[in-house]
Structure formats: C-alpha cells, structure tokens
Amino acid sequence: MNRIFPLLLVCAWSANTGSVTAPNVEPARFRLMTLDPGHFHASLVQKFMYADVDPLVHVYAPRGDDLQEHLKRIESFNSRSNQPTHWREEVYTGPDYLEKMLAEKPGNIVVIAGNNTRKTEYILRSVQAGLNVLADKPMAITPADFQKLQPAFAVAASNHVLLYDIMTERYEITTELQRELSRQPALFGKLVKGSPDEPAILMKSVHYFSKIVAGVPLKRPAWFFDVHQEGEGIVDVSTHLVDLVQWEAFPEEALSPADVTVLNARHWATPLAREQFEQVTGTENFPEFLKGDVKDGVLRVYANGEFTYRLRGVCAKVTVLWDFEPPPGGNDTHYSVVRGTRANLIIRQGSEQNSKPVLYVENTGAVSDTAFALALKNAMADLQGKYPGIGFQREGKVWRVIVPEKYNVGHEAHFAQVTENVLSYLRAGRLPDWEVPNMLTKYATIMQAYELSR
C-alpha cells in the first residue's frame, strides 16, 4: 500500500457512518496538492487555514525523511494551542508519485517546495496538466532550467491557469514602507541612476544553516548542501532580492530581459565542518554526492553570491551570504538601501536593531532639515489610511520609522499572506499584467549572473 491515511481522517470517516443524512455542503473552491515537499516552506503555506480552501490536502511524494518532516510540521500546526489548524493529509508515496498526481488531479493548486533538481520539470508538467502552481523560489537553478521555465508561463496562459512563485519579502512591513516612501516625490525625489561603485539600490541578505523554524530547530536534508540539487546562493536567495529591486524601482511596470545587463558577478563557498553538517542534518558523514565538494574534511558550499547590474539604466547590487549559525539572539538579516535625489531609504537589521528590521530615512542634503522633516511628516500622514499608527522620530542624522508591533508578523506568517494574495488572483482569474513578464525578467537576470560568476 502506498497510500497513508492519518488517524484524523479515519476518525472523520467513522463519525459519518451512521444513518443521518449529511447536510448539503458546497465543496471548497480550492483544493491543495503538495508535490515532493522537501523544503520547510511547503509546510509554511499551511501554517494557517484559508477561506474556501479544503482542509483535505493530497500529498504526492517519495518515501523518506523529507516527507516525514513535512508531515510532522503540519501536525504541529494542527496540535498547537494558539490558532490550531485542522488540515488532513492524504499521502501517496509510490515511485510514480508525479504521474499519479497528474492522472488523479484531486486538487486544483499544486504547492511545490523541495529539492530543486526536478522543480522546473514539476512546474512544466503541472501547468501542462491544467493545474495552478504555487512554487517556492527558485523556479530554476541553471540556464537549462530557465529554458524550460519560459514555455511553462506560455503553457499556463494557454491553459488558463496561474503560475506564481512565493515572494514573501514583499510582505515585510519595513520593505512595504520603503516602497511606499519611494513613491512620495516631495520626500524621496526621484530614484537616482547610480553607478557600479555607488549603486542606486543595494540589497544584502544574510542567512544561516542552523536556525529555528516553527519553534523548533530546523532539520535540513543533506541534499540542501548540494548546489546541484538546491542551487547556489546566487540563484536561490537572490531571487528575493532581484524581485525587490524590480518591485521597488519600477512598481507595477512590466519589465523585459532586454532591460537587464549584469556587469559583474562572483560566487564563493561557506565552509562546513562534518560536526556542523551532522548537527543540522542528523547525518553523521558527508554523503557520496557531496564528496566532490569536500576538501581536507571540510564541505565547501557555494551558498554565497554577489552581482551588480543595470535595470533600465538603474544600477543595483545584490549580495547573498550564508554562515552556519547566527550570533546569540540573532537570525537571518536583511539590509537594503534605495537612493533618491532627496532621501535615502535604509533598512538595517543588526544588533543595534535587536535583529529586527528597522527603516530609516536620510536627508541627502537636497533640502533643509526643516523642509525635509515637513515632507516626511506629510508622507507619513498620507500613508496613515493604509498603515494606521506609523510614525517617525529623529535619531542622530536620520529619522527612524516607527512601526506598531501589530505589523511585525514575522517571516513565517508571510507565507500565508502570499497564499491569500494568490487565492485572490485565482478568484479574479488572472495575475496583474506585470507579474509574469517580471518573473521572467527576474530569472533572466539571475541566470546572467550565474553564467558570469563562472
């Protein structure tokens, strides 16, 4: 038997075996399927419940630790005391799991977040079968993958289904406000063009292999450290950063790969001792598929990448860094600068900010401090309708944006925000006109950088 029916589901059936006629209930509009969930992001899509989404989720995956870790996380959401979920997972684990899903199609949305070796294939096959796809980044990890991804969008359009990647960083409140303030010309002025030495936009993301997710230490699969299966940092986390550059510099404008020129790119490795590898994977020794990346007993993971590029003449630089574990009390961090003719908008997330992102507004000197403070006051007043309670205060030479705690929902909650947004697109029957061309532009940018880093 390759099907696993959890106890919750069996009990639900048992409770309905009497002679009482069940009420006529409208079936849920949306039904999730999870395909080969090897990354914890797959489970975070289900951290909360959604209106008109069926609580029964069909999972198609090979047997193994990846699947078991996924089911454990779903069960932890179901059993928590605060806002418990009530998902029911029906699991198929045969070797033909992909073909079985495509033949049965018990749902209409496929969630894909796991080993990236076959991700682009999974995406293409799913949209060919007429299924909507919500895919974790990256949707492609090599130029060859990108060649498969491009027609997938055309197939999705012809089959009237949506293909979308999970861009959680758009929902971080300081990033939202950075974008909003850059659209206030009396405060920000205009986005400068910048140069390779002084880019108009800087994005830097620091991540850690050892971290806490959903309140417990994260167990990573061994394949996560193989760049042929996970992808290098320059094509992985940088997906978020390139997305933010586009989203902030050219809001709601359709871009094209022809708008992009990558100027320079590099990649380098993070060393990982065998003991560190065992700590986060539970695997005592490096597997055979990693032996080529082991030198003098240390695993070299090409998780770091950096590149500078021009987008419609605007110079941007993105940097992705990975280390083993954060300092005490620390976590993943994001640093961002968007430079205007009147103001610079800066997000910092260091020890001075208690590892929480904080947005600062800096006067470039184009106007007096008095005029600048008035412009900031007016800009904040203009945003009160959308973000009630936000404010600002002077800190030295800059102004700190004050954000009420209710907006600091945390990274894990952003997955629910993305999902809610995708459901709204599905209800409307379409994505915004700029989303698909900008996804293609994003991956074209990253692939340019990947090739140049060689």
Residue 116 shares a structural domain with residue 175 = no
Give the Å distances, CA to CA, from 399 to 189, 345, 360, 368, 373. 17, 10, 6, 14, 9
Give CA–CA dist 359/175, Å, rounded: 8
CATH code of the domain covering residue 50: 3.40.50.720
In the chain, how many H helices and how many E strands? 13, 19
With contact defined as beta carbons under 8 Å apart, do 35 and 111 qualify?
Answer: yes
Residue 149 shares a structural domain with residue 85 = yes
Q: Give yes or no for residue 235 having a pLDDT over 90.
A: yes
Give the residue with greater pLDDT, 14 vs 407: 407
Q: What's the confidence (pLDDT) of residue 81?
A: 95
When pLDDT is averaged across residues 32-43 and rounded to a whole number, the result is 96
**Average pLDDT taken over every residue of the chain:** 93
> 155 in a domain, yes or no?
yes
Which structural domain range is residue 225 located in? Answer: 169-409+440-453
Q: What's the confidence (pLDDT) of residue 2?
A: 63
> 74 in a domain, yes or no?
yes
Q: What's the confidence (pLDDT) of residue 212?
A: 85
When pLDDT is averaged across residues 177-188 and rounded to a whole number, the result is 98
Q: What's the confidence (pLDDT) of residue 279?
A: 96
Give the residue with greater pLDDT, 180 vs 211: 180
Residue 151 shares a structural domain with residue 271 = no
SS3 state of residue 315 = strand
Q: What's the confidence (pLDDT) of residue 331?
A: 85
Q: Give yes or no for residue 185 having a pLDDT over 90.
A: yes
- The pTM of the whole model exceeds 0.85: yes
* Cα 53 off chain centre by: 21
Q: What's the confidence (pLDDT) of residue 381?
A: 97
Q: Give yes or no for residue 445 having a pLDDT over 50.
A: yes
Report phi then psi at 273, rounded to 5. Answer: -70, 160
Give CA–CA dist 273/347, Å, rounded: 33
Q: What's the confidence (pLDDT) of residue 329?
A: 79
Q: Give yes or no for residue 7 having a pLDDT over 50.
A: no
> 302 in a domain, yes or no?
yes
Overall number of domains in the chain: 2
> 64 in a domain, yes or no?
yes
Residue 189 shares a structural domain with residue 223 = yes
Q: What's the confidence (pLDDT) of residue 286?
A: 97
Q: What's the confidence (pLDDT) of residue 222?
A: 96
Q: Give yes or no for residue 89 having a pLDDT over 90.
A: yes
Last residue of a domain, one of 110, 137, 165: 165
Residue 129 shares a structural domain with residue 39 = yes
Residue 205 shares a structural domain with residue 300 = yes
pLDDT in tens, 358-400: 999 999 999 999 999 999 999 999 999 999 999 999 999 999 9
The amino acid sitting at 151 is P
Residue 220 shares a structural domain with residue 279 = yes
Last residue of a domain, one of 165, 195, 224: 165
pLDDT in tens, 277-331: 999 999 999 999 999 999 999 999 999 999 999 999 999 999 999 999 998 878 8
When pLDDT is averaged across residues 70-97 and rounded to a whole number, the result is 97
Q: Please give the structure tokens belonging to residue 330.
A: 């620390």
Q: Give yes or no for residue 193 having a pLDDT over 80.
A: yes
Q: What's the confidence (pLDDT) of residue 351?
A: 86
Q: What's the confidence (pLDDT) of residue 3?
A: 63
Q: What's the confidence (pLDDT) of residue 92?
A: 98
Residue 231 shares a structural domain with residue 312 = yes
Residue 32 shares a structural domain with residue 154 = yes
Pairing of strands 294-295, 298-311: antiparallel
Q: What's the confidence (pLDDT) of residue 355?
A: 86
> 85 in a domain, yes or no?
yes
Residue 85 shares a structural domain with residue 201 = no
Residue 352 shares a structural domain with residue 203 = yes
> 418 in a domain, yes or no?
no
Q: Give yes or no for residue 206 having a pLDDT over 60.
A: yes
> What whole-number percentage of the chain has pLDDT above 70?
94
Last residue of a domain, one of 165, 183, 206: 165
Region of poorest pLDDT, from 98-112, 172-186, 221-235, 320-334? 320-334
The amino acid sitting at 431 is L
> 430 in a domain, yes or no?
no
CATH code of the domain covering residue 447: 3.30.360.10
Q: What's the confidence (pLDDT) of residue 17?
A: 33
Give CA–CA dist 231/301, Å, rounded: 10
> 277 in a domain, yes or no?
yes
Report phi then psi at 281, rounded to 5. Answer: -110, -25
Q: Give yes or no for residue 47 having a pLDDT over 80.
A: yes
Residue 147 shares a structural domain with residue 30 = yes
